[in-house]
Structure formats: structure tokens, C-alpha cells
Amino acid sequence: MTEVFDQEAKLRGKTIKFRKWKVKDKKKYLENIKNIPVSREALIYDCLEDKRIALDDEELKYMLIQIRMASLSDPIDYTFNCEKCNKDYEFAADLRDIVTMEGTNVGDIVSGDNVITFGNITNKDFYQDLFLSADTYDAKELVDFMLHIRSFNGNDGFTFEMLNEYISEMDAKSFEDIFEKWMNMRQRVNNVSAVVCPHCGHEEWYEFDALPGFFPPSWRIE
Ligand SMILES: [Zn+2]
């Protein structure tokens, strides 16, 4: 059966075509909820026209939100407690308006004698295996950093092990400088938005990351 990819999102300056979730996606997701690679397939990759595109963790987060909001047209309800007047209020969030991608993964970073060229990740499975098996937040950030490196001082013919070796041998201060510049440059999800209290007009900034009600009740297994 031909699948129709009639939804669009902007990513990396391009249009990514996708389709809404189907019954089969929900079934695959619920049956594999503990298996992260398979549940990601069900919720994200299966729905993309280009299933070979390699997405990093931030891009996966962004596409998951895009597909969720297109598929389940209901906004997500949040309950806030105003920090000024202490009253509760409801806020219906359309995450397509709130969540944006900022920064870029493509460019050079120069530090001392080192020039490192960064680009989008290219190997979906390799990235995912290393990222998921890294057991701390810092280890995940390092995997993510390394797999975005396209060339190191003009050398682009390295393996992951060779790159690991180069980085291990780097001057610690120089590495920290490059890593910090990368963290400032890199493309990431911006999910911080202003919310205004309807009782007193007080504005608060909120990070929409916990996603209560992201899936409707029938999608939950408990
Ligand atoms: Zn208030």
C-alpha cells in the first residue's frame, strides 16, 4: 500500500514530510514501550517519508512533538499555579507554536591550532546505539558531540575509535573550549515559553518538557 506523507515540518532548513500516527503505530508502540529503538521507530521513523534520515536526540524530540501535534489535534492541558497571586489556572498548549529548533549543527569551530568541522549526524543506528548505551547525561553529550564531527584538522577519514583517541590526547583546556563552543552553536529544541496568569496578568517562563497528557489515556499501558 502506498503511504501518503501529507504533513510537513521544517528541519535543517528543509521540509521533512511525515504522516500522522496510525493504529499500527500505536500497537507497535504499546507492544514495545520498553524497547526505545523500536518505540522510536513506531512513533517517529515509520511516519517519515525519508526513513533513512539520521536524526540526533534533539531532532527526534522535535519530530516527536510535530507528529504528536499533527496526529492528535487536541492541545495539551497544563495546570499552573501563579507564583504571584497563587491562583491555579489552565493553559492549553499547542506545542507546534511553542517548540522551535534553534542553532545549527553545521559549521567550523576553531580553538588554538584545532579546526573542527561539524555537521548533521549520518549514521542513525550507530548514533542511537552509542547514545542509548551511554549511561550518564555527560556521556550522552560527549557521544553526541563526537558523532557530529565531520573533520578534525582537515582529516575526515577517521573511525570513531580514532576520533576517541585524538580527543583523549587533546589538551584538556582546548577540549573544554571546543566543547563549550559546540554547545553554544548546536541545534537544540527550545521549549521555553511565556505563560500569562489570567487572574493577575503575571507572566512566567515555563519549560514545556514534562509533557503531561502527551499521549491520550488509551495510549498508556498502566
Ligand atoms: Zn496570577
112: containing domain = 104-186
Compute, in angstroms, the gap from residue 195 CA to the centroid of ligand 1. 10
Say whether pLDDT at 222 is over 70: no
169 falls within a domain: yes
Q: How many other C-beta atoms lie within 10 A of the C-beta of residue 9?
A: 19
Question: How many CA atoms lie within 13 Å of 57's alpha carbon, on the beta-carbon side?
Answer: 18
Distance (Å) from CA 204 to ligand 1 centroid = 10
Q: How close is the Cα of 77 to the center of ligand 1, in Å? A: 18
Q: Does the pTM of the predicted model rise above 0.75?
A: yes
Q: Is residue 138 part of a domain?
A: yes
Nearest residue to 105 (alpha-carbon basis) of 68, 53, 145: 145
Residues 13, 187: Cα–Cα separation, whole Å:
12
Cα of 109 from ligand 1 centre, angstroms:
45
Cα–ligand 1 centroid distance for 214 (angstroms): 25
93 C-alpha vs ligand 1 centroid, how far in Å? 18
Q: In whole angstroms, what is the distance from residue 14 CA to residue 123 CA?
A: 19
| Ligand 1 centroid from CA 38, angstroms | 43
Question: Is 114 domain-assigned?
Answer: yes
What pLDDT does 144 receive? 96
| Statement: residue 210 has pLDDT above 80 | no
% of the chain surpassing 90 pLDDT:
74
- Asked if residue 18 belongs to a domain, the reply is no
pLDDT at 207: 87
User: What's the pLDDT tens digit per position in 161-198?
Assistant: 999 998 899 899 999 999 999 999 999 999 999 999 99
* Mean pLDDT computed over every residue of the chain: 91
CA of 188 to the centre of ligand 1 (A): 31
Per-residue b or e along 115-143, where b marks 16 or more CB atoms closer than 10 Å to that residue's CB = ebbbebbeebeebbebbeeeeeeeebbbb
The reply to whether 8 falls in a domain is: no
pLDDT tens digits, one per residue of 6-36: 999 999 999 999 999 999 999 999 999 889 9
- Does some domain include residue 97? no
Q: How close is the Cα of 76 to the center of ligand 1, in Å?
A: 21
222 assigned to some structural domain: no
- Each residue's pLDDT tens digit, 109-127: 999 889 999 999 999 999 9
Cα of 80 from ligand 1 centre, angstroms: 10
Give 222 Cα–ligand 1 centroid separation in angstroms: 35
Give 201 Cα–ligand 1 centroid separation in angstroms: 6
Distance from the CA of 96 to the center of ligand 1, in angstroms? 25
CA atoms within 13 A on the CB side of 127: 21
Q: Would 141 be classed as within a structural domain? A: yes
Rounded to 5 degrees, φ, ψ at 121 are -65, 155
When divided into structural domains, the chain yields a total of: 1
d(CA 163, CA 160): 5
Q: Residue 93: its pLDDT value, please? A: 87
